[in-house]
Amino acid sequence: DLSVGSTAGFVGALAAVLMVQMGLHPLLGTLLCLVAGGLIGAAQGWWVAYLRIPSFIVTLAGMLVFKGLTLALLAGQSVGPFPPDFQKLSSGFIPDVVTGGSLRITSVLVGVALALILVGSNLRRRMGQQRQGFTPKPMAAFALKNALVAAVIVAFSTWLATYRGLPNVLIVMFALILLYRFVTSRTVIGRRIYALGGNEKAAKLSGINTERLTFLTFVNMGVLAALAGLIFAARLNTATPKAGLGFELDVIAACFIGGASASGGVGKVTGAVVGALIMGVMNNGMSILGIGIDYQQVIKGLVLLGAVSIDQYYRKR
């Protein structure tokens, strides 16, 4: 979906018009913007799923269309500031229910709970593999891996608790990771999406309604792009005509770095998140080192090319 950046920018502009210029309540404005994102995804998904136009062409057209609509909505100018309640979506922190002096105990408890949920989920999956006759990883390696992951989560939440606690945007991200990890690995629609990505003809012959599934996938993509646009606008506290510019390149690179395959059917949600974190660290690191924007683009292009090349190499093996 090449239009994710333009969709995010357009939804941010729409939020500014609704909340700043029209004075709409932030909650209602947010819901309307998410609906708008879903409608954008539905419009593009209809062309791809039912008219069989390649998604590259449809979303490239969408990228141009929504760039233009963003400029039209904002009249070429930045619009802000947003209401304080809306700003909390990106810059707010979860309230500290349990007080502990300078340490935000609630944030620590959330980190511990998340670590326990993750370890419990992995343990349940391991037991399921044993019941089905599969040979799981050695117990020592399994325990070490989960202990390290849990320790990192608890340490990270404790570190955040020494400041102002867990940011709201981090809670939103963790909730989305857990939701989509469950959907892609534990539900019928998740398995069907992998089948559709791997081989559309085989998926259709096996009885999957590939047109409807493709359509719904684009609707989902539109809602997520809209949410990203809202968070980005709330972080900047203003909607700008250039918001979302180049997002699609970082998104595609993050997916491939995280293990997604260019041919489809392979990849995990957590892998894409790790890829996004790597891209974020790389962008910040290059800025801190004073590398010019020209060479930053060169480096990111080479990283993307390398990630896809490695994917193709292992697929051939």
- pLDDT for 296 beyond 80: yes
Model pTM score? 0.84
What is the token pair recorded at 241?
A: 């005509």
The stretch 43-60 carries a mean pLDDT of 93
Mean pLDDT (the chain) is 87
Say what the pLDDT of residue 163 is: 80
- pLDDT for 122 beyond 90: no
| Total number of residues shown for the chain | 317
Question: Of all helices (H) and strands (E), which one includes residue 316?
Answer: helix 293-316
Say what the pLDDT of residue 100 is: 61
| Residue 286 pLDDT class (50, 70, 90 cuts) | confident
- pLDDT for 185 beyond 80: yes
Mark 296-305 as b/e (b = at least 16 C-beta within 10 Å): eeeebeebbe
Torsion angle defined by CA atoms of residues 6, 306, 173 and 12, in that order, rounded to the nearest 10 degrees: -10
Residue 247 and residue 269: Cα distance in Å, rounded?
A: 18
* Phi, psi for 98 (deg, rounded to 5): -105, 115
| Residue 99 pLDDT class (50, 70, 90 cuts) | low
- pLDDT for 114 beyond 90: no
Residues in contact with 149: Cβ distance below 8 Å, sequence separation at least 6, in sequence order: 115, 118, 119
The stretch 197-224 carries a mean pLDDT of 91
Distances (CA, A) of 82 to 14, 45, 134, 279: 12, 31, 54, 28
What is the token pair recorded at 103?
A: 């340490």
The stretch 285-311 carries a mean pLDDT of 82
The stretch 242-250 carries a mean pLDDT of 84
- pLDDT for 135 beyond 80: no
The stretch 103-126 carries a mean pLDDT of 84
Distances (CA, A) of 294 to 136, 161, 253, 286, 298: 47, 38, 17, 11, 7
- pLDDT for 216 beyond 90: yes
Say what the pLDDT of residue 101 is: 65
User: Which amino acid, 256?
Assistant: F
Q: Name which of 57-66, 94-103, 231-240, 254-263 the model is least confident about.
A: 94-103
In this structure, are residues 104 and 165 in contact, taking their beta carbons and an 8 Å threshold? yes
Helix or strand or coil: residue 269? helix
* Phi, psi for 239 (deg, rounded to 5): -105, 125
In this structure, are residues 309 and 301 in contact, taking their beta carbons and an 8 Å threshold? no
Q: Is the dihedral of CA 20, 24, 25, 26 positive or negative?
A: negative
Say what the pLDDT of residue 149 is: 86
